[in-house]
Amino acid sequence: MERELALEFVRVTEAAALASARLMGRGLKDEADQAAVQAMRAMFDTVSMDGEVVIGEGEMDEAPMLYIGEKLGNKNGPRLDVAVDPVEGTNLVAKGLPNAIAVVATAPKGNLLHAPDMYMEKLATGPLGKGKVSLDKSPTENLKILAKTMNKRVQDLVAVILDRPRHQKIIEEVRKAGARVKLISDGDVAAAIATGYPSSGVDILFGIGGAPEGVLAAAALRCLGGEMQGRLVVEDKSQQERLKEMNITDPNKILNIYDLAGRDDVIFAATGITDGDLLKGVRFMGNIAFTESVVMRAQTGTIRTIFAQHCLDKKPKVYQNLIGY
């Protein structure tokens, strides 16, 4: 069943990528997201599972589809937590910039953290950093530790960081330590996942980003054997109450990769929307479209890259409408 589901989730992310890619570079951020949401939601109806959205487009009163708590699948399958981001990097799609992806992560019921829509301090590395780096350590300390475990010099390391004013001190410290910095405008899920690929050119991720995106990245890094840590950033009383609902009594608690993505099996799937460090974006040639996707399983450690050719004129009419053909 899990093998079958892995490929089904690729079909889900492919549909979202095809739909949103039609609007790539046209400055229509919300429209690109809406197109991906509709296509992803429709494809979920065909999947043999009894799923529930734990990370999605927002609360029930905020999103018409893929809202938190929405039931997904045809109910003929396992009960699963489902985390989605139909367009991870809506600004990237709108501007035609690299590294926009469509993402799905699933795990048996109760495994994925129901992360609220708030900020999270994050630290991500590949397998060699697992159990070595820590959010309780400074960026300089973590860089030195990682350099030692990777048999590199600190000068050889590349840290990826969201280009935000709140990260200025981190950026300065990383540069002072001697490491190189790769600044990104959006899309820290793809950036965190890249730390798990030795060929990606990035070694560690620092900074504060969305908590839901932290769970998605943790799911992928669990499959890759990497490290992901998070610490929720509380900004007001409503967020403090949300933590209590999650049974998190210490706001300074470091959430490890198992807190974020469980200890049971995890499946992660993503399809490139625009060209990126990990995946190529969608290509359209008349009635043909080409996609590149990745699907991973934590239980087996299997990572599959899938290159697909889609004959758009042979798709059902409803599907053609969803992907703008």
- The binding site consists of 33, 57, 85, 88-90, 119, 164-166, 186-188, 210, 213
267: left (phi over 0), alpha (psi -120 to 50) or beta: beta
Extract the annotated binding site for substrate: 88-90, 119, 164-166, 186-188, 210
Extract the annotated binding site for Mn(2+): 33, 57, 85, 88, 213
3-state class of 167 per DSSP? helix
Task: Tell me the CA end-to-end span of the chain in Å, nearest whole number.
Answer: 32
CA dihedral 88→229→125→2, nearest 10 degrees, is: -60
In angstroms, the CA 11 to CA 66 distance is 16
